[in-house]
Amino acid sequence: MRVLIAPQEFKGSLAADEAAAAIAAGIRAARPGWQLDLLPLSDGGPGLLDALRRAVRADTAAAVVHDPLGRPVLGRYLRLRETGDAVIEAAQANGLFHLKPEERDALRADTFGVGELIAAAAADEPPRMLIGVGGSATTDGGAGALRALGARFLDGAGADIPPGGGPLARLERIEWNPPAWLGRFSVVVAADVRSPLCGPAGAARVFAPQKGASPAEVDLLEEALERFAAVVRRVTGVDLRDLPGAGAAGGLAGGLRAFLGAAIESGFDIVAGVTRFAGRLAAADLVITGEGSYDEQSLAGKVTGRVLEAARAAGKPAVVFAGRASLPGARTLAALEPDPARAMERAADLLRQLAADWAAEQPA
């Protein structure tokens, strides 16, 4: 039996490579003769760099940048050896994981550090820049990142508005002094959702509550992004309001589309291409995938849903391991440990046990 083990991160408990290792350890305990191919995956969010480093040869670089609240952090990025492409994981700068729960501030959180990462990676002018944008703490339309790259966001009095998504409600004018490298290489945003910038399915309404926004703050952020979209359209001619994917990472994808000319593509498709997922799936008899929460969002472009689609198309059986699940068919850590906090603390051990129990049930 040849098994492809291709999970994404179990958010809050295990990185994708840690999840893959735990699953593999459990299977080896029960079926030591099986061949295992470990392929941790990402749809552009946290874990993107680690997933690619495990699959292809790449060099790591780093720069001191700013986190969502303006504090210095060390952000990594990659240069792929085969292609020379630069790969940025935006969450290295604006990721929700940088903040304690009590620090989440959806109105003030800012993407300035993402722009700093882009500038650092652009210095060598790679043939292509891939920017994964999932897992953000921000809802600022990418204004902070653009500020780091040469933009000014001004109110009606001509003063610079403060960082964050909330102040965009006062935006009247954008001055754009593009970096010298713009246009010398292509920029691709690897997005984990197809959400537009505004509206009921947009960045504020759907995702800002996860970033600490109250209902009143969600309303303010929606108003701010509407204002941002109107001014951006006036400056660039790009209408972000209903553009699929523009709402990814609190609108960061949309801001990069409008000002850097970035293409917005499926993060899973990009990672699958770089890691040669299709060929590795073809060589497998069965595929295992999984994530922390297996739910409706999993089937909207996330890794787990896309792996299941690919397995179905290839005629391969597939198994889902998850922390918890609201969709049928998954084996869950919650079945072994009902207490969510304890399940997260013991995630690696529980996932190993879950995989071992499953493997022991399979034909030899």
Tokens (6 digits) for 317: 């059986």
Quick one: average pLDDT of 203-232?
A: 97
Q: What is the pLDDT of residue 295?
A: 93
Confidence of residue 218 (pLDDT cuts 50, 70, 90): very high
215 and 71, same structural domain?
yes
74 and 171, same structural domain?
yes
Q: What is the pLDDT of residue 156?
A: 96
Q: How many CB atoms lie within 10 A of CB 96?
A: 22
Quick one: average pLDDT of 186-191?
A: 97
**CA dist., res. 207 & res. 256, Å (int):** 19
167 and 65, same structural domain?
yes
Q: What is the pLDDT of residue 300?
A: 77
Q: What is the pLDDT of residue 229?
A: 98
110 and 182, same structural domain?
yes
Q: Please, are residues 27 and 13 in contact by the beta-carbon 8 Å criterion?
A: no
- Based on its alpha-carbon atoms, the radius of gyration of the chain, rounded to whole angstroms, reads 21
55 and 165, same structural domain?
yes
* Residue 70, pLDDT above cutoff 90: yes
Confidence of residue 89 (pLDDT cuts 50, 70, 90): very high
Confidence of residue 11 (pLDDT cuts 50, 70, 90): confident
Q: What is the CATH number of the domain that holds 183?
A: 3.90.1510.10
Quick one: average pLDDT of 106-134?
A: 97
Rounded to 5°, the CA angle 262-69-145 comes to 20
Rounded to 5°, the CA angle 255-119-236 comes to 30
14 and 66, same structural domain?
no
Region at 177 (left for phi over 0; alpha for psi -120 to 50; beta for the rest): beta
**CA dist., res. 134 & res. 305, Å (int):** 16
What's the farthest any 2 CA atoms get from each other in the chain?
Answer: 74
223 and 263, same structural domain?
yes
62 and 25, same structural domain?
no
* Residue 325, pLDDT above cutoff 90: yes
**CA dist., res. 229 & res. 20, Å (int):** 40
Range of lowest pLDDT (29-38, 48-57, 147-156): 48-57
In a domain, 92, yes or no: yes
Q: How many domains does the chain have?
A: 2
258 and 117, same structural domain?
yes
34 and 59, same structural domain?
no
Q: What is the DSSP letter of 150?
A: T
Q: Which domain holds residue 200?
A: 48-268
Query: 350 or 193: which carries more pLDDT confidence?
Result: 350
Q: What is the pLDDT of residue 302?
A: 85
Last residue of a domain, one of 268, 297, 317: 268
pTM of the model: 0.91
- What's the residue count for the chain? 364
Q: Please, are residues 204 and 213 in contact by the beta-carbon 8 Å criterion?
A: yes
In a domain, 273, yes or no: no
Last residue of a domain, one of 218, 238, 268: 268
227 and 261, same structural domain?
yes
**Chain Cα centroid distance, residue 176:** 27
250 and 325, same structural domain?
no
The structure tokens 């391969």 sit at 316
